[in-house]
Structure 1
Amino acid sequence: MRLGLLTACLPGESLDDIAGWASGHGYDALEVAAWPDRPGRDWEASHLDVEHFDHAEAARVRALFDGLGLGLSAIAYYENNLHQDPAVREATHDHLRRCIDAAALLGVGLVGTFVGRDVSLTVAENMRLAEKVLPPLVSYAAERGVRLVIENCPMEGWHPDGYPANLAYSPELWGWLADLGLWLNYDPSHLVWQGIDPVAALDDHVDRVLHVQAKDVELDPWARNRYGVFGRVIDKQEWVSGWWRYRIPGLGEVDWRRVVDTLHQAGYDGVVSVEHEDPVWSGSLERVQQGLTIAQRTLSPYVQI
């Protein structure tokens, strides 16, 4: 098992600089963000230009990682593959295919994404939609030696009322994902605030886990008693529930000793990739890097053994 980080927390830094820092600060691998480079969306990291990726750039990236002793665990493009606008949905699928192509050139077997949701439809209707539009993407990946791993984030901010907008939020749906040929990028933080034991959920589905994201979550039970599990309604802020927030591993509720031990017992030998979304350790390059250092110190005794 190796410890990695998702590069999305450093959208303003180059892949070369991130790789150099990670290698010097106890990390073994990178999960590389590859969102499109779009004006006005500076928070989206584009550390691989997959739209123009070719053999020469693949060779350069491989040489960079090999020279630093780093692995490349996955290419990351977490977007709504069931978006209600057909044009947006198709553009998302097209970029996902470019991510798959880049992964194939790099010899990386995994691309991370979301199922998503058409928020104008019910969950049942979305499942039928997914059964039509996702299998061709799974096949496209398989033909190139790549598998799609789905993060179990609810993406409640995509829904106008804060309800789950990514059909992987519940372990009830993970068998359905398997039937579609999709795999899990397991993140325990999303389960905790839903009231789900992340260790029990992992134990039941660990055979479908090909990648792991390490993020923690801090709960405020008093605020939950006021707002309920779906969060604040009056004076609601986008992506802010009012009673929980994501934290760096070790600063929240997740029992990382038990999570990683469950992975070890199941024979998992992939990457545990830190996903830094902690508002406390954000705001500058130095604070983000300090947060990543805290995560490395927390997880390395369990992962890097």
Structure 2
Amino acid sequence: MKLGVFTVLYSDKSLDDMLDHVAAKGVEAVELGTGGYPGNAHCNVDELLNNEEKQKEFLEKFKRRGLIISALSCHSNPLHPQKKIAEEADRLFNKTVQLASQLNIPVVNTFSGCPGDHEDAKYPNWPVAPWPNEFAEILKWQWEEKIIPYWKEKAKFAEEHQVKIGLELHGGFSVHTPATLLRLREVCGPAIGANLDPSHMWWQGIDPVEAIKVLGRENAIHHFHAKDTIIDQSNVNRNGLTDMTSYSDMQNRAWYFRTVGFGHSTKEWADMISTLRLYGYDYVVSIEHEDGLMSIDEGFTKAVETLQPVLVKESIGTMWWA
């Protein structure tokens, strides 16, 4: 395994300064945003796509520092009911897959998106209960008319470019649990997999270790994010887990993001790393820092310090004890 970082947290730094900084911290991989919600501070698709000379210069910056690019990320909503928003997200996804292919980067991370509730909707609709029955009808329509047709086409496109799609399981989007990921993968094929972020499992009441087992049995984990979450039970009792309190109002939220080790113990992170290895994942653990109680640099540094001792770096080879 390699320790990495999603570089959006250092969007204020130039590419060279960012790479020098994270390499000095001891990471071995970087995940780069190409647009959408993460922005494109360190990877401009339009400048790099189909430009061999610029691509060579770009890749040399990483090679010189002993870093790999674990994934390109273009998180957005390609199923948005507003056509302009959806088309922009779709174009970005297509270009990101093409660039990943040209740069030999194996994974493109994004969200599944979330449609509206009918053809003329203006905003996404995320059903979270099967009753009243209208919600179940909306969900059925979304999957049959929007989600499956779109991702079938994109899975084929990714396969043609020898790229895997890492869908981040995230509340507010249609694919947000292991079950919804596997439902889509069953129809669309193995190009679809998870960019599994335990922070989004915890607040949904899902044990990340068990999520790894569910997805790992299907070889459906394409990438892994390292971000923590704390559950404030007194606020859960008041607001529930589907809490609409602003992320900035941390005192009153039912849950909020923390840097690695400040929501759950090192042992729990060691359990996740071990379970990833148990089910065949031997790629990058990419730190995503969104902790509202720590500076960017302090939160990133503490995440590195927590993960380095528990990361499994070497395969056992043969079992010498049996």
* TM-score of the pair, normalised by structure 1: 0.87
Q: Which deviations, in whole Å up to 9, do the C-alpha atoms of 1:89-133 show, x marking residues without a partner?
A: 111101111111111121101100010102435322221211111
Partner of 1:149: 166
Distance, in Å, in 1 between the alignment partners of 2:155 and 2:69 is 21
Which of 54, 58, 61 is 1:61 aligned to? 58
Distance, in Å, in 2 between the alignment partners of 1:213 and 1:58 is 26
Moved segments of 4+, more than 4 Å: 238-241
Q: Which deviations, in whole Å up to 9, do the C-alpha atoms of 1:48-102 show, x marking residues without a partner?
A: 1102212122111211111100011000111112111122111110111111111
Code of the residue aligned with 1:173 in structure 2: it is T
Which of 181, 189, 204 is 1:174 aligned to? 181
Q: Is it true that 1:200 corresponds to 2:200 in the alignment?
A: no
Q: Is it true that 1:109 corresponds to 2:121 in the alignment?
A: no
The offset of 1:174, in angstroms, is 2.0
Code of the residue aligned with 1:127 in structure 2: it is W
Indicate conservation of the 8 Å contact 2:248/2:292, yes or no: no
Partner of 2:316: none
Are the structure 2 counterparts of residues 75 and 21 from structure 1 closer, same or farther at C-alpha, using a change threshold of 3 Å? same
The offset of 1:267, in angstroms, is 2.5
- 5 Å matches for 1:151-300? 151-154=168-171, 165-179=172-186, 180-181=188-189, 182-206=192-216, 207-232=219-244, 236-237=245-246, 242-253=253-264, 255-281=268-294, 287-300=295-308
Indicate conservation of the 8 Å contact 2:32/2:71, yes or no: yes
Code of the residue aligned with 1:257 in structure 2: it is A
Q: Which sits farther off after the overlay, 78-87 or 131-140?
A: 131-140
Partner of 1:284: none
The offset of 1:46, in angstroms, is 2.9
Q: Which sits farther off after the overlay, 240-249 or 107-116?
A: 240-249
Aligned residues: 282
Q: CA RMSD in A?
A: 1.8
Indicate conservation of the 8 Å contact 2:260/2:306, yes or no: yes
Structure of larger gyration radius: 2
Partner of 1:127: 143
The offset of 1:239, in angstroms, is 7.6
Partner of 2:135: none
Distance, in Å, in 2 between the alignment partners of 1:97 and 1:273 is 23
Code of the residue aligned with 2:273 in structure 1: it is V
**Which 5+ residue runs of structure 1 have no aligned equivalent?**
155-164, 282-286
Indicate conservation of the 8 Å contact 2:32/2:69, yes or no: yes
Code of the residue aligned with 2:293 in structure 1: it is V
**Which 5+ residue runs of structure 2 have no aligned equivalent?**
118-124, 126-137, 314-322
The offset of 1:9, in angstroms, is 1.3
Distance, in Å, in 1 between the alignment partners of 2:40 and 2:46 is 14
Partner of 2:320: none
Indicate conservation of the 8 Å contact 2:169/2:194, yes or no: yes
SS of 1:222's partner is helix
Partner of 1:3: 3
> Percent identical across equivalent pairs?
28
Q: Which deviations, in whole Å up to 9, do the C-alpha atoms of 1:193-221 show, x marking residues without a partner?
A: 11111111111111200110000001110
* TM-score of the pair, normalised by structure 2: 0.83
Q: Which sits farther off after the overlay, 217-226 or 85-94?
A: 85-94
The offset of 1:238, in angstroms, is 6.5
Partner of 1:158: none
Indicate conservation of the 8 Å contact 2:241/2:255, yes or no: no
Distance, in Å, in 1 between the alignment partners of 2:312 and 2:18 is 20
SS of 2:92's partner is helix
The offset of 1:45, in angstroms, is 4.2
SS of 2:306's partner is helix
Indicate conservation of the 8 Å contact 1:111/1:147, yes or no: yes
Distance, in Å, in 2 between the alignment partners of 1:9 and 1:177 is 30
SS of 1:303's partner is coil
Indicate conservation of the 8 Å contact 1:150/1:183, yes or no: yes
Code of the residue aligned with 1:205 in structure 2: it is L
The offset of 1:291, in angstroms, is 1.2
Distance, in Å, in 2 between the alignment partners of 1:123 and 1:296 is 40
